[in-house]
Structure formats: C-alpha cells, structure tokens
Structure 1
Amino acid sequence: MQAGLVVLCLAYVLSQFFRAFLAVLTADLGRDIEAAPDDLAAASGLWFLTFALMQLPVGWALDRIGPRRTAAVLLLLGGGGGAALFAMATAPVHVSLAMVLIGVGCSPVLMASYFIFAREYPPAKFATLAAVMLGVGSVGNLVASYPTALAVELMGWRATLGGLALISAAVAVGIWVSVQDPKRVETDETGSVLDLLKEPALWAILPLMLVAYAPSAALRGLWAGPYLRDVFDLNTAQIGQATLIMGTAMIAGTFAYGPLDRILHTRKWVILGGNLLGAAALGLLCLWIGQAVWISVALLAAIGLLGASFPVIMAHGRAFIPPHLVGRGVTLLNLFGIGGVGIMQFVTGRIHTATVDLGASAPYTAIFGFFAVALAAGCAVYVFSRDSVE
C-alpha cells in the first residue's frame, strides 16, 4: 500500500502541474498558435470542468472497481494522450481538446488516494494525510512555474509536452503495478450520490467547497501570468519566478492547515478564518492592483497560502459520509471544489474580454474583485455549518 501511495503521489504531481502550467506558456502559445488569454482561460476552465464532471463516474468506479484500475487506465489514456495532443497543437482549439483529455486523466488520482485513506486509516487522521498528499503532490505546482519556463526556453513547449506525455504513461503503468485495492465494504446498505445530497450537514459545506479553491487555483493556473505581463511587463522567466513563490506558499498553506483541526479541536473555525483572510487579501490586491510588483507577488502568495484549506474542507465533509459511500462522497466534494474553478475560469474569461479595453489593470481588478465577493459569499453560508472533529 505504501509503494502504491508513493506512485499515486507522483501522479498527483502531474495533476497539479497540468492545472497550473498554462500561466508560463501565455507568451509562447500566443506567439506560436495565436492563443489569447481568454482562449487559455477557456482551456483551463475545460480542464477543471472535465475533471469535476468525471468525479461522478470516478466515485462509482472507486467503490465498484477500485482505485488501481480506475487511476491507471484514465491517466494512461487521458494524461498521456492529452499531453501528446497538446504537443502537436496548431490552434487554440487543439489546446482546449488536449486539456479536456488531460482533465479526464487526472480526475481519479487524488480521489484514489483519499479513498485509500478513508478505508485504511482512522478518521481522525484523514485531514492530516489528505494535506500531506496534497502538499507533497503540489511540487507539481512548483515545477509548473520557473522550471517549466526554463524547459520551454531550452527545448520549446512542444518537446516539453512530449516529454510529459511519456512521463504520464510511465506513472500510469506504475500505478497498475504497485497500487493495491482496499477490501470492499461488506454491507447490505445501498445508496447513491442522491442519498448524499439528502444529508443537511453537507449543504452548508458544499457552497464554500465550490469557491474556496477557485481563487488560488485560477490565479496560479492562469491569471497570474497575464496580470504580471500586462500590468508590470514581466517576461516568461520573471513570471515563472513569481508563480514559483505563489506555488511555494500554496504548499506551505497545505501543510499548515493539515494538523490545525486536531490542534485547535475545530475544523469549522480553521476553515472559516483562513478563507475570510483570503477574501481580504483579494480585496487588497484589487486596491493595490498596480502599486508595485513585489506587493502584488506578496498578495498572490498570501492568497495561495490562505486558499489551501481544501483538505480540511474535504475532511469536514467526509465526517458526514457513510462508509459504503466513501468513494462517491469524496468525489462529490471534489466535484464542487474543482468544478468551481472551471466555472469561474469561464466567468473570468468573459470578464477579461468585457473589460480589456478599459486599461491594463481594469480586467484584473474586476477578476480579483469577483473572486473576493464569491469567496465571501461562500463563507457567509458556511457560518451555518455543523463542526466536526473525530
């Protein structure tokens, strides 16, 4: 089981990479295949929406087929095939199609790990284990910043994506060989996602799950690049360095959030406090949109740090899911978390298009303001949630 979790962690490194690497390819894709920021926002949104929609069949597959075959087959066909298609792209639509395939490939990886944690480890350790997997896997977020910028400068983006296709295929084979499926839960009880949606405790959690991850994921995955280029005239390498700082902060935030529920004996107030501070950081970024590049990078890092509450929200929701529906339960939560990013990428793409003629900073003030309002609204609903700490 431990060897399998290591390989699943490597697969999650790839998943984190693929959701974040477009930010440093903005200039190259614009030059080579005429992909504008709103084209890349749509492609990024498609990755997240595809990933989210896949959570329903993935949840069923985890409960019925097991994590080994589910993760290995989808990563091989979707991750490897999608990266290969991206490497051959000649138009923005090819990038979008490639991101859809990659979204399919990445969709089961983290949930396969969480499924194993939920079945094989005590509930009280779920948040910490989930945070460790998320934090270590987020190395992919770092690789998708400055190291990717260097690789693109040395080899070109096509060779870089071709190499990633081969790596994805190799990791998929590793999952097939090393992951062991947990024993099935023997029960006469039946159920579906509809039964989970009848649980009142989840309805105060799901709205925040929808918006909590979106600001940091969308900014790190795309908007940080165009923002720093358009407002501060940074080049690809400089954008890579800035996003490296934000990515490092996201990893630090994941490890910081992980044990806090056990230390403070509350999940609700850890999650609520962090996300309210994240909304405040987004508001400050709007106010100081073009003040100084170091202020903007610091605020982007703060948003990444404070926006890393995903595993604790997952643990909060997990507490209200029955054992025989664990696979579908964690994937339902993930559907909201990842789907929210996809929806917001499409919305922010439209915002960018509508405000691009109003000045260099206007689109980003509007985008960051939208994220701040959405996050505050999610927190307002989450106030009414029921706390849980096993």
Structure 2
Amino acid sequence: MNAGIALLAFAYVLSQFFRAFLAVLSPFLGTDIGATPQDLAFASGMWFLTFAAMQLPIGWALDTVGPRRTAAVLLLLGGGGGAAVFSLAATPVHLAIAMSLIGAGCAPVLMASYYIFALDHPPVRFAFLAALMVGVGTLGNIVASYPTTIAAETMGWRAALWGLCALSSATAAGIWFAVRDPEKEASAQRGSFAEVLRIRALWFIFPLMLVSYAEVGALRGLWIGPYLTEAFNAEPRLIGQASLAMGIAMVIGPMAYSPLDRIFNTRKWVIFIGSFGVLLATIGVIVLAETSVLWIIALMCVIGFFGSTYPAIMSHGRSLLPRHLVGRGVTLLNLCSIGGVGIAQFVTGRIYAANTPAKWESLPFVMIFMFFAAALAVGLVIYLFSTDTKPNEA
C-alpha cells in the first residue's frame, strides 16, 4: 500500500460517498429546492449512467495513457467541479447536472487501482486486493449516512458540498503526483473492446454483473430514505442510522467474500450462493413490507452484506482476460455493473411514480423490490451456464 494506492483508495471512498449521499439528504433537498423522490432517482441515475458511459474511454485511456493522468484529471474536473455545481443547486435539474459531472469524475478511480493490481500483482492476489479496495472504499457509505445527516443539520448541506469540492480537488492533485503507472503492454495499443467481446465465457457473466449491484446501489444510494420515510414515518436520524448499518454491512461483505474462492477453490459458486442470498432477502422485504421497521432495516443489511459480490465477479471476469486486454476488460465489466444501477434508478423511479399515490404506503416500494427480485433471478439463471475458474490453479 504505497501513497498512490492509498490516494486512489481515498478517491474511491469519495466515489462511494457520492453515489449514496442522496438518500440521506432527501429530506433536506425536498424542503429546500423541492426535489421529489422521482427527481432524486433521476439525478442518482444520471450519476450511474454517466459513470458507466465513461468506462469505454477510460478503458482505452488506462491501456494507452495510464491510470495516473486518467484518474487525476477526471476527478479534478468532474468530482471537484460537480460538487461545486451541487452546492449551488437551486432546482432538481441542477442536481442532475451536478451528479452527472460527479459520476464522470468518480468513474476512473477504482478501475485505475484494478489496472495496477492486475499488472503489478499475481492473478491469484487480484480477488483479495479488489475486495480490500472495495471494503476500504465502502467506508464512504458510512460517511454518507449518519455523519452526513449531522453535517446537514449543523453546517447545512451546501457548506458540506463546498468542503467535498475542496477535498476532491486536493485528492486529484495528490493522485497526479503520487500514482506510478505500471509498465504498458506493447500489445495493448492494438487491443480493442471487440476483442474483449469475442471472449464467449464473459457473456454469461455480463448479465449477473448488470443486476447484482443494481439493487444494492439503488437501495443504499436512494430508496432506503424514501421507503423508511413514507412507509414508517421515519425521522432523518433513523434514516441516517439505517443507512449507517447497511453501509457497515457493505464494508464487511467484500472482505468476507475475498478468501472464499481460495478456500473452496471456486469463483462461480461463491458468487452464485451469495447472490441467491440477496434474492431470498429481497423476497423477505416484499413479504414483510409493513410489519416492522427493524425487520426491514435488518433485511436491507443482509442485502448489503450478501450483495457485496462485485469484487468476486470482477475477479471471475479478470481471470478470463489476457494481460493486454485488462484495462478494456475490467472497465467493460464495470460498465455493466454501474450501468445496471443507472438503468435501475430510472426504471424504479418510473415504478414509484406509476404507483403513487398508493392504497397502502409501501406499495410503490414492494413493486420496486419485485423488479429487483425478477432481474436478479434472470441474472442467476444465465450465470449458471458460466465457466468456473479455479484460483488455486492460477
């Protein structure tokens, strides 16, 4: 863990924060600028879709320009600039513009670290290092929960965003000076995304990558706030505490997954069983929709824990990539993951609007969870046909 990797890890903490803080700020943004849950779903979706759209040029840039300049420039312009726009927001449209900029700024930081791990470390270590980076970065989920509520209540959300603008800009400058680019593969200049797409085994992983993080990202990033508010009349502090609990589960989850592929010598079945656990917890939320706020929060934590399969799926995909396609390959996988959340935010925003006003308070959210359950079930069925890879034979 050198200074460059530490700064990329901190940048990923900021990335996790920015994708999750709208859920906690929803009461304040509703009061101050009239942002509805559907407005926030759109703004959050723009973060994820912009993030996803940037993955293709970032994949090219990692293989050709290198991770140092790619991450530093985008974080400065997008992360710092987007936070400044957010702090000045007067309408929900401004939030969507700001979140789009921030999504572009956050897009390269995790992939830059994964690129370095893939080229500078043995393949068998990739799953652990990937999980460690996600586990550390997910601390941003914790900061985006109860502490953000306190900050919004004391200094105001606009002042907090100006602080994040300064912090993002300073982190970008640190990355520029501290990150060291790995030695480039000569054949990387000739690689292409078409070559990645010709790897047939990846096509059975892409669908699960598309849906596996969609529920976790959408729930923690937005819907946990409106759900608890409308179905249980939860106060902002309870929403912050629930978000904190789910964030902690999402910090522990990646590290819990990281040794399992080596212990059981399978990547595929570790991912499948964990994802099936998410499906069961989602069905539990649907069944117990209005019974008890504590049960719902507990099930959300289960979803956060078992839904932390991102590093494991990324490791499965990475094991199928030749060295000269690592940059393009991991960013294409990441495009599926983040793009899935963006699509889910738009779809669930429409589901919410279509079921509002409702005969009973939790109906819009039950319909949202039914959508997630159906999407995850389809992804799991396709993943059953994927090729397993054995980490102990790498």
TM-score range, shorter chain: over 0.9
Alignment of 1:309-388 (within 5 A): 309-358=309-358, 359-388=360-389
Partners of 1:372 and 1:188 lie apart in 2 by 39
- How far apart are 1:320 and its partner, in Å? 1.2
Cα RMSD between the aligned structures?
0.9
Name the aligned partner's letter for residue 27 of structure 1. Answer: P
Structure 2 equivalent of residue 18 of structure 1: 18
2:64·2:188 contact (CA, 8 Å) conserved in 1? no
With the length of structure 1 as denominator, give the TM-score of the two structures. 0.99
By how many angstroms is 1:188 displaced? 8.2
Q: Secondary structure at the match of 1:384?
A: coil
User: In structure 1, how many angstroms separate the alpha carbons of the residues matched to 2:172 and 2:280?
Assistant: 40
Q: Secondary structure at the match of 2:355?
A: helix
Partner of 1:288: 288
The Cα offsets for residues 219-275 of structure 1, whole Å up to 9 and x where unpaired, read as 000000000000111111110000100010011111111111111100000000000
1:175-217, CA deviations, whole angstroms, 9 ceiling, x for partnerless residues? 0010000011133882211111111100000000000001111
Mapped to 1, the partners of 2:29 and 2:225 lie a distance apart of 12
Corresponding residue SS for 1:356: coil
**Counterpart in the other structure of 1:142:** 142
Q: Who is 2:278 aligned against? A: 278
Contact 2:229–2:235 (Cα < 8 Å) also in 1: yes
> Which residue identity does 2:35 align to in structure 1?
A
Instruction: Specify the SS of the correspondent of 1:357.
Output: coil
Q: Distance in 2 between matches of 1:388 and 1:48?
A: 29
User: Contact 2:250 / 2:308 at 8 angstroms: preserved in 1?
Assistant: yes
Q: For 2:322 and 2:218, how far apart are their aligned partners in 1?
A: 32
* Matched residue SS, 1:187: helix
SS of the residue corresponding to residue 377 of structure 1 reads helix
1:360 Cα deviation (Å)?
A: 1.1
Q: Which secondary structure state, in structure 1, belongs to the residue aligned with residue 190 of structure 2?
A: coil
Q: Which amino acid aligns with 2:378?
A: A
Give the alignment's TM-score, normalised by structure 2. Answer: 0.98
**Which deviations, in whole Å up to 9, do the C-alpha atoms of 1:113-157 show, x marking residues without a partner?**
000000000000101100000001111010000000001011111
Partner residue, 1:161: 161
Q: Which residue of 2 aligns with 1:195?
A: 195
SS at match of 1:315: helix
The answer for unaligned runs of 5 or more in structure 2 is: none
Q: Which runs of 4+ in 1 moved over 3 A?
A: none
CA distance in 2, matches of 1:227, 1:187: 50
1:45 aligns with 2:41: no
In the TM superposition, 1:165-244 aligns within 5 A as 165-187=165-187, 190-244=190-244
Using the alignment, how far apart are the partners of 2:298 and 2:384 within structure 1? Answer: 28
Distance in structure 1 (CA, Å) of the matches to 2:97 and 2:186: 40
Partner amino acid, structure 2, of 1:235: E
Distance in 2 (alpha carbons) for counterparts of 1:189 and 1:322: 14
Residue 96 of structure 1: aligned partner? 96
Q: Deviations over 1:45-91 (max 9, x none)?
A: 00000000100000000000000000000000000000000000000
The SS at the match of 2:186 is: coil
Give per-residue Cα distances to partners, 1:311-337, cap 9 Å, x unaligned: 010010111111111101100000000
1:66 aligned residue = 66
- CA distance in structure 1 between the aligned counterparts of 2:260 and 2:189, rounded to whole angstroms: 34
Contact 2:63 2:189 in 1 (8 A): no
Equivalent residue letter for 1:361: S
Match of 1:266 in 2: 266
State the alpha-carbon separation in 2 of the partners of residues 303 and 193 from structure 1.
32
> Hey, what's the Cα distance between the residues in 1 that align with 2:138 and 2:281?
22
In the TM superposition, what is the alpha-carbon distance from 1:3 to its structure 2 partner? Answer: 1.1
Alignment: residue pair count: 390
Provide the C-alpha distance between the structure 2 equivalents of 1:260 and 1:128, rounded to a whole number of angstroms.
10
Q: Percent identity?
A: 59
For structure 1, the 5+ residue unaligned runs are: none
Q: Measure, in 1, the Cα distance between the counterparts of 2:321 and 2:233.
A: 48
Q: Secondary structure at the match of 1:183?
A: coil
User: What residue in structure 1 maps to residue 128 of structure 2?
Assistant: 128
2:308 maps to what in 1? 308
Q: Return the alpha-carbon distance in structure 2 between the equivalents of residues 273 and 113 of structure 1.
A: 27
Partner of 1:108: 108
CA contact (8 A) 2:79 2:106 kept: yes
Distance in 2 (alpha carbons) for counterparts of 1:188 and 1:94: 39
Offset from partner CA, 1:268-321 (integer Å, 9 cap, x none): 000000001101100110110111011000000000001000001001011111
Q: Distance in 2 between matches of 1:198 and 1:42?
A: 34
Does the CA contact (< 8 Å) of 2:19 and 2:221 recur in 1?
Answer: yes
Distance in 2 (CA, whole Å) between partners of 1:201 and 1:283 is: 30
* Mapping of residues 31-42 of structure 1, within 5 Å: 31-42=31-42
